Amino acid sequence: MRVLVISDIHANLQALEAVLAAAPAHDVAWNLGDVVGYGANPNEAIDRVRGLGNLIVRGNHDRACAGLMGIEDFSENAARAVRWTQRVLNKERREWLRALAAGPVTPEDVPGTSCVHGSPLDEDEYVFTFNDARPSLREAAARITFFGHTHVQGGFASNGEEFFHLTPDLGGGDEAEEAELPLRAGARYLLNPGSVGQPRDGDWRPAFAFYDSARSLLVWHRVPYRVVEAQKRIRAAGLPEFLADRLSEGQ
């Protein structure tokens, strides 16, 4: 099975279109959540995502924008974006967001894999470090878990004794780029495709991953996109300036 893995689109339609245009041929698409929030095209992003299939895990911004959770713990910029998104979403799309599944979601067609937003143990947990990753690598039901939420492309692996931090071997720059990670039989993995719509790993290019289960191969991708257009739309919508600025920094 060839899988396109995407996460944290955050209503950035321009980034999503660039990712879909660059994605290798795939059989299914898995979406790890945060379809909306921060960006200026939530309705369009939802419509585009719905056309990709139905394996979608809900993110914290999806829950907030759907009115399923409070925003007391959100930053001021994030909270402003949630309130704006709530105003522009129509009822039908809000209902669609409300109905998204909490992770872990287990794809039926690829045994041994699982999809979550935060971690296999807590949908709101950020997995940034070894300490964050260890319990999940030990206790996750699936051998390979795809996660998002941190907006950092990369992941963690364990052979049962040692733990490894996985960082895509990419050079940076402004062109499309990819890095392969052959997966080892028996090892356990936490794999983050990175964020489509608001990367925070120092690289402004939208991130995604391609997983080929038959070849036990993961490929991390970065692609350029019309970032100026996405920024223009954020400013035109009256969303916080910071949310536009950060897109070109990848922070």
Q: Cβ of residue 199: shortest distance to Fe ion, in angstroms?
A: 11
Nearer to Fe ion, 17 or 34 (CB): 34
3-state secondary structure the chain: CEEEEECCCCCCHHHHHHHHHHCCCCCEEEECCCCCCCCCCHHHHHHHHHCCCCEEECCHHHHHHCCCCCCCCCCHHHHHHHHHHHHHCCHHHHHHHHCCECCCECCCCCCCEEECCCCCCCCCCCCCCHHHHHHHHHHCCCCEEECCCCCCCEEEEECCCCEEEECCCCCCCCCCEEEEEECCCCCEEEEECCCCCCCCCCCCCCEEEEEECCCCEEEEEECCCCHHHHHHHHHHCCCCHHHHHHHHHCC
Where does this chain touch Fe ion (CB under 5 A) — which range of 4-12, 88-96, 224-232, 242-250? 4-12
Rg (CA), the chain: 17
Q: Please report whether residue 8 would count as binding Fe ion according to CB under 5 A.
A: yes
Nearer to Fe ion, 65 or 219 (CB): 65
Q: Cβ of residue 160: shortest distance to Fe ion, in angstroms?
A: 31
Contact map string, positions 26 to 65, toward Fe ion, x by CB under 5 A: --------x-------------------------------
Where does this chain touch Fe ion (CB under 5 A) — which range of 8-16, 47-55, 134-142, 179-187? 8-16
Nearer to Fe ion, 34 or 125 (CB): 34
Query: Are residues 38 and 59 in contact, defined by beta-carbon separation less than 8 angstroms?
Result: no
Q: Cβ of residue 118: shortest distance to Fe ion, in angstroms?
A: 10
Q: Cβ of residue 237: shortest distance to Fe ion, in angstroms?
A: 18
Q: Please report whether residue 201 would count as binding Fe ion according to CB under 5 A.
A: no
Number of residues forming the site for Fe ion (CB under 5 A): 2
Q: Cβ of residue 186: shortest distance to Fe ion, in angstroms?
A: 31
- Residue 15 token pair: 């980034």
Nearer to Fe ion, 9 or 110 (CB): 9
Q: Please report whether residue 125 would count as binding Fe ion according to CB under 5 A.
A: no
Q: Cβ of residue 45: shortest distance to Fe ion, in angstroms?
A: 13
Enumerate binding residues for Fe ion (CB under 5 A).
8, 34
